[in-house]
Amino acid sequence: MKTTLNTYEIAAALREDSNAGWSYDGAKALAEYLEDYEETTGEEMELDVCAIRCDFSEFASLQDWAESYGMEYDKEADEDDQEEEIRRYVQDHTTLIEFSSGVIVANF
C-alpha cells in the first residue's frame, strides 16, 4: 500500500522534522527537487525525513555554505563573482538547490 504525496504535503512533512529546521521556502524547494528526481529517474522514493535531513543542509546563501565548510574563495571579488565561484565548486562536487531565500546543498 502506498500514498502519493504532493509538493505541499512533502514540504509539510519535512518541516515537521524539528531536528532539520527547514524554512518553508527551503522545504518546498527540496520537495520540488525530490519530485523532479523521481520523474527524471523513474524511481519511486519513500519519504524518509531523517535520511533527507542527513543528506541535505539549508543555508541562507552560497557564502554561508562556503564559510561553514571552510571553502577558500576570492573575498576581494564582487558578490556576484563570489557566488559564481562558489556555485561552480558546489555544482562540480554535489547537488545544489537554489531558491529565492537561500540554498540547499547535498552533504558530501
Q: Is 25 domain-assigned?
A: yes
Q: Is 83 domain-assigned?
A: yes
22-36 average pLDDT score: 98
**pLDDT above 80 for 102:** yes
Other residues' Cβ atoms within 10 Å of the Cβ of residue 61: 16
What pLDDT is attached to residue 7? 96
10-33 average pLDDT score: 97
User: Domain limits at 46?
Assistant: 7-106
**pLDDT above 80 for 8:** yes
Q: Cell 519511486 maps to which residue?
A: 44
Q: Is 1 domain-assigned?
A: no
Domains in the chain: how many in total?
1
Q: Which three cell numbers, joined as nine digits, stand for 91?
A: 555544482
Mean pLDDT of the chain: 95
Q: Is 11 domain-assigned?
A: yes
Per the CB < 8 A criterion, the answer to whether 30 and 22 are in contact is: yes
Percent of the chain with pLDDT over 70: 100
Q: Is 37 domain-assigned?
A: yes
Q: Is 54 domain-assigned?
A: yes
Q: Is 91 domain-assigned?
A: yes
